Chains A and B, each alone.
Chain A
Amino acid sequence: MKVEEFGERSLQLGGWDVHLTTYRLGEVYHCKADNVSPGAALARTTGETRDVAERKAIERAEQLLSRTRRHAI
């Protein structure tokens, strides 16, 4: 199967930059959310539409990012 409808976009969640990478493989959309700096994967999700896959990734990324503490320096 070829990768189709590859796309990327950026957003902010809870003050953190997040990058979404989404593509379709066959009938399934795959989405990955990463944390931009440094770029580590936070969530990988699937869905029958791009919106569904991305919504799941955003929800999972938000959960993880909400646990990140900023420390005084």
Chain B
Amino acid sequence: MSNYAHPEVLVSTEWVEAHGSDARVRVAEVDVDTKAYDEGHIPGAIAWNWHDQLCDAVRRDILPRDRFEELMAQSGISPDTTVVIYGDNNNWFAAWAFWQMKIYGHKDVRLMNGGRKKWLSEGRELTTDVAPVEPETYQAEEPDLSLRAFLPEVQAASAQGTASLVDVRSPGEYSGEILAPPGLPETCQRGGHIPGARSIPWGKAVNDDGTFKSYDELARLYGGEGVDASRPAIAYCRIGERSSHTWFVLKYLLGFDRVSNYDGSWTEWGNLVGAPVERGVAAKAGA
């Protein structure tokens, strides 16, 4: 898979077809809900519902450690299981699940390159059978919160330039013309972007078939906007799922050591009292 910094975290659809049923492999389809999974899914795959199973919806938080351990155990996953994640919606929520599994220290978790769309476009097998699961025991690591950006770090990045801020939303969201992706609920009170953030929509990192662009293309994309491994980077979007995708690109495909996902994202910043906001289209890098 190209000359990515960590190619071991990506698997192809061919690999999943050949190895998805291996005893030490667990395939999980992840999306905002399980409607796509219910239509039909990769044989043997389990389903994770982002809203109900991967978030603490009351605290607006990632899962606490005990609930994460319970989800893994009930999914038949032990700490040495190879977990392959894929999903619809361009692998956004799959990338969120990947990010959360890395926060809790799961060693071998991989994304299926191209996600559900590529599997469908290749005319592969789907089933509506729900995979049987034998519960396991699971003990998570202490959370690695260096992978997650909280508001104070983002404020410092904006005000003092301590990190590159990468806004991965659509140009209309970045400019403030729209407050949410067209057709989805507005979750903030005003539009715009965090001052200093560069606009690099998530979709620039993938090809038409949903697979990731090459290392060289990605390095040019982010480097052209002044985002490189020489300084920390923070990705954000509206609710943190698109930015998980970009976080994955920066961390594992380009090999940035210091990159975090601001999952509070515009839903947090766009509702803050007294927070600075910039509006308008993106300026050229260095302008």
A70 interface hit (Cβ, 8 Å): yes
A40 interface hit (Cβ, 8 Å): yes
Tell whether, in the assembled complex, residue A6 and residue B121 are in contact, meaning their CB atoms are under 8 Å apart.
yes
Tell whether, in the assembled complex, residue A37 and residue B40 are in contact, meaning their CB atoms are under 8 Å apart.
no
Tell whether, in the assembled complex, residue A69 and residue B179 are in contact, meaning their CB atoms are under 8 Å apart.
yes
Tell whether, in the assembled complex, residue A38 and residue B39 are in contact, meaning their CB atoms are under 8 Å apart.
no
B191 interface hit (Cβ, 8 Å): yes
Chain B count of residues within 8 A CB distance of the other chain:
42
B169-195 to A contact mask, C-beta < 8 Å, 1/0 = 111110111111111101000011000
Task: Give the A-B contact count at a CB cut-off of 8 A.
Answer: 96
- Give residues of chain A (26-73) contacting chain B, Cβ–Cβ below 8 Å: 30, 32, 34-35, 37-42, 44, 46, 61, 64-65, 67-71, 73
A4 to B40, CA, bound (A): 13
A58 to B138, CA, bound (A): 44
Tell whether, in the assembled complex, residue A1 and residue B201 are in contact, meaning their CB atoms are under 8 Å apart.
no
A6 to B121, CA, bound (A): 6
Residues on B with C-beta less than 8 A from A71 are: 176-179, 191
B158-170 to A contact mask, C-beta < 8 Å, 1/0 = 0000000000011
Residues on B with C-beta less than 8 A from A25 are: 39-40, 126
B280 interface hit (Cβ, 8 Å): yes
Given the interface contacts A37-B201, A68-B182, does A23 sit within 8 Å of B279 by beta carbon?
no
Binding site for A on B (CB under 8 A): 32, 35-36, 39-40, 88-90, 117, 119-127, 169-173, 175-184, 186, 191-192, 201-203, 242, 279-280
Nearest 5 A/B pairs, CB to CB? A64-B183, A37-B170, A38-B170, A35-B182, A73-B176
| 22 residue pairs A–B, Cβ–Cβ below 8 Å | A1-B125, A1-B127, A2-B125, A3-B120, A3-B122, A4-B123, A6-B120, A6-B121, A6-B123, A34-B89, A35-B181, A37-B201, A37-B203, A38-B170, A38-B242, A40-B183, A64-B184, A68-B180, A71-B179, A73-B175, A73-B279, A73-B280
Binding site for B on A (CB under 8 A): 1-4, 6, 16, 21, 23, 25, 30, 32, 34-35, 37-42, 44, 46, 61, 64-65, 67-71, 73
